[in-house]
Amino acid sequence: MFFRSIFILFAFLSSPVFAYQVGDTLPPATQKQLHLDDQQVAIVDFFAQWCVSCRAELPEVNTLAEQLKNRGVHFVGIDIDDDLAVGIAFQKSLGLTFAVINDTKQILVNDFQPIGMPAIYYIYQGKILKIRYGAIDNIRDVILNDLKTLGQNK
């Protein structure tokens, strides 16, 4: 019983208590930093060069961002690499064409506190509608289905 209590306490203390959750409204300063538009769904994708799943998913996300850019969906990447040169080289190696914020000081990642990488947040009018963490097969189809489910497939 003692070890079970210790485990539960450790699990609670190691979880991000103040992480943004579905239904939360982002503070105005964060919305501004992400260049959110109240008339568009924003898909905010946290990634890093060291994340193997990110490397696999980002080409699909990039293609989808290009296809949806004139349909009311705005993609924003958050590169959490602390070395700016590494992050930029990674983005260039993948040919990313959607907007990317280089979060070298870990400000946004500390605000959002994603529990896995990659992390995708769907945001509309400043409110978090859905969150996905970790590796996802067929990310393109998953995002399109999520947009339909959320009623935002424009």
Q: Is residue 129 part of a domain?
A: yes
Q: Is residue 81 part of a domain?
A: yes
* Lookup: tokens for 35: 């260049």
pTM for the model: 0.85
What pLDDT sits at residue 94? Answer: 97
* Alpha carbon distance 49, 30 (integer Å): 23
> pLDDT tens for residues 98-112?
999 999 999 999 999
Q: Is residue 75 part of a domain?
A: yes
* Alpha carbon distance 115, 100 (integer Å): 20
Q: Give the total number of structural domains in the chain.
A: 1
Q: Is residue 10 part of a domain?
A: no
Q: Is residue 76 part of a domain?
A: yes
Q: Is residue 12 part of a domain?
A: no
What is the full DSSP assignment across 98-116?
A: SEEEE-TT-HHHHHH--SS
What pLDDT sits at residue 11? Answer: 43
DSSP 3-state of 88: helix
Cross-sheet strand order for the sheet of 99-102: 99-102, 73-79, 41-47, 119-124, 127-133
What pLDDT sits at residue 19? Answer: 84
Q: Which domain holds residue 136?
A: 20-149
- pLDDT tens across the length of the chain (154 residues): 544 444 443 444 444 457 899 999 999 999 999 999 888 999 999 999 999 999 999 999 999 999 998 898 999 999 999 999 999 999 999 999 999 999 999 999 999 999 999 999 999 999 999 999 999 999 999 999 999 999 854 4
Please return the burial class of 34, using the count of CB atoms within 10 Å of its CB with bins 0-12, 13-18 and 19+: buried
Evaluate whether 98 touches 77 at the Cβ level (below 8 Å). Answer: yes
Q: Which residue, 90, 145, 92, 95, is CA-closest to 118?
A: 90
Q: Is residue 97 part of a domain?
A: yes
Question: CATH code at 107?
Answer: 3.40.30.10
Q: Is residue 84 part of a domain?
A: yes
